[in-house]
Every structure is written in C-alpha cells, then in structure tokens.
Structure 1
Amino acid sequence: MTTDTAYRVNGVGRADGTGVWAVLLPAGRYDAERLVHHDTLELTGLDGTARPRPGDQVAVLADEPPRLVALGRVVAPTGEAPEDPDDPLSERGPAELVVAYTRRAFDEPVPADAVTLDRPVSPLDPAVFRRLVDRLGPPKERRSWLVSLDLPIEAESPAEAVRLFWAYVQELGPRELPAFVSPSGDELAMQAFVLGEEANQDPEEDD
C-alpha cells in the first residue's frame, strides 16, 4: 500500500506506540457489514508476513472507489469465527485477524483517495489515518428508535405463528424483509428499510 506520505518504522506505521493499518473488506463483505450489526470484523485466509498486533489501530476500507467505512482496533482471536458474517449457519474456521469496531460509517462512508489499496492488510501512515478520522467528524448523538417487522402468518396457534415468524426471518433476512423504523415518540416518521436503505412500501406512490 502506498500513501501520500512515507512514514514507516520497521515497515509498520506507528502512532502513540501502536501500529496503524488499513484493512480492505473482501468483495461482498461491505453489504454484509451494513445489513447486520457485528461487534468485530473477522478475516481469514490472509497471506504475507506483515500482520497487525492486538491494540493496533485499523482503518477499515471499501474499494471502488476507496472509502473509509469503519475504525477499529485489533484484538486477540477468542476462538473460531464464521466464514460469512451474514450467514450464521456457514461453516466455521479460525479467525486469523479480528478487528473490534470502535466507529462505524457504513451508511455514510468518507472518501479515502489518499490510500492506494493493493492487498487486504497493509501498514498505513499515521498522518493519513488521522486525516481519515478527521473526515468522519464527531460521532452523532445516539437516540432511541422503534424497529418493527410485521409478517402476516397463517398458523394453527400463536406459538406456531411465532416459530414460523423466526423461520421466515432466518430464511429471508435483511436482504428481502422490510424493517420499519421511527424515532421513539414519533411513529408518523416511520420509514421502511430493505438492504440497509430506505425503501418505498407504498405501491400507489410508484404509479
């Protein structure tokens, strides 16, 4: 990886005594991270000798175009992790690199043109890292939201209806089911989301 400046100590950028790295999301992983909340990012099958150490800072990037989608710190693997974070039933394997998210920007990524991506994990210049962090700006204030998912289900009993509900949720997931969200106390502002984006659910408005 190359950046607009050149600062390396033993091949690894340093800031406040920790390494600074850029991690490129694999193809298709960006959508998976947007659709379902994960506390960590697990990457397997990495090659090469340069590896972040626990405590190192990480800029998580998506490609085409390069953009910053999250910040994190490397943590020690605690065991095995799923190969596909969007599929909890997928086969499990060893997590070679685990990044604990400290800041997410999947919905509003910022440009990362100063970083040239040529491998999944590379050292990053601390000055470039700081500029990327500055582009994110301060975190938004957290607030309470009401999120609901309504499914008409035919069943012989309430218990069976609940079982079918969870079966449909697992089968269809956030890629197909619309979730309805509104600020607490303002249900009239409800919006539907599919695939992580606002989706119109009123067929009359499409005409």
Structure 2
Amino acid sequence: MIAARREDSRRQAAAAVVLIDRPDSFILDFMNILPRDFYDHNAEQVAPKMLGKWLVHRVDGIDRIGRIVEVEAYVGPHDLAAHSSKGRTARTEVMFGEPGHAYVYLIYGMYNCLNAVTGPGEHASAVLIRALEPVSGIEGATNGPGRLCRALSIDRSLNGHDLLGGVLYIARPEGRQTRFKVVAGPRVGVDYAGDWVHRPLRFTIEGNPFLSRR
C-alpha cells in the first residue's frame, strides 16, 4: 500500500514537470512578455537574467518555444568583441536604437544569430542567445546560435523586430520554475578582441545538456 502511494507521488511529480516543460495553450496565454525596462540596462546585467526565460517565435500559428540556457553579453562600443565597436553602420544600426528589439545578423554567409538589444538608446549593447532547451514546437538542434535560429525559423527578416510584440518575444513563464546555478566564463570565438578575450561575459545554466559548449 505504501509502495503504491509512493509510485502515485512519483507519477504526479513527473506530470508536474511535463506540465511546466511542455506547456499547453492555456499556459502560453498567460506567459509574461518581458517589458521594455527589463532590457534597459547594461548587457552584462541583463544577460544572466535572461537565463531560464522562454524565447517564443510564432510561425504559422504555432508557437516554437525554447528555454534560454546560454547567452553572451556584448557591452557596447568599447567592447572590442561587439559589432558596435566598429561604429554605427547599416548592419549595427539596430544596436544603437531602443532596447528590447531583435538584432539578427548572418555569420559565415549562412547562419543567423539572434540578439536582444539592451541599454539606453545609443548604448549599443546586446545579448546574444547561444543555446535553448526545447520546450514546445521545436524540431532540430538548438545548442548553438545558428542552430537555434534555424530550429525556430528566425532570420534577418526579423532584424529590428520589437520583442514586446506577439510574434517573436522573450517571456517569463508562469508557475514555479526550476532553480539553477549561473556560471560565468569567457565568450566563444572572440580571440580577436584583445583584453576582452577573457572577460567572463558568457553566462550558462550549470550542467544543462543543451549548452553549445560544456
């Protein structure tokens, strides 16, 4: 009898986890889209707070959702790894604008990368989303900035998109969230950035299996 009750408890706990990780339309209706002032701070402050939030892209009426597990902060024109360090150009114009907009660019001529613009206007800082843990509606790998954009159908047509809208946005899901430890370390692929190479501006959820690099 006791064993049966324990088994029932385990099943209920598993069901609760599934409910959080695989949301139905009811839960999606009550997600809290992050407000403008969430982004209106330096990228180094915003980046770790984005971990655990949900990135959502609505495609043909279907929400593709991933939990953010890895990000990198690019803190402004003085950051030699930031695109804005090269000045204000057609490519980086979005970075110099209002916080809470998408900055999407192409690397190697084939991979899209998604950033959230942060800081006051013309601060030119952003947070790169590097990896997601799939939650709902996603097919394909999400452990890397190019891979997650492909899995969520994010491309440069979304460059400059307002992240407070209902198509592409970052949200704080309702309900109790799993606690996690944030780990900071050097960013990936910025060997050209002089003294900025070793700055601990990459933030990850410790031990998450969907990180781009362990």
TM-score by length of 1: 0.28
The higher-RCO structure (CA 8 Å, 6+ apart) is 2
TM-score by length of 2: 0.28
Higher helix share: 2
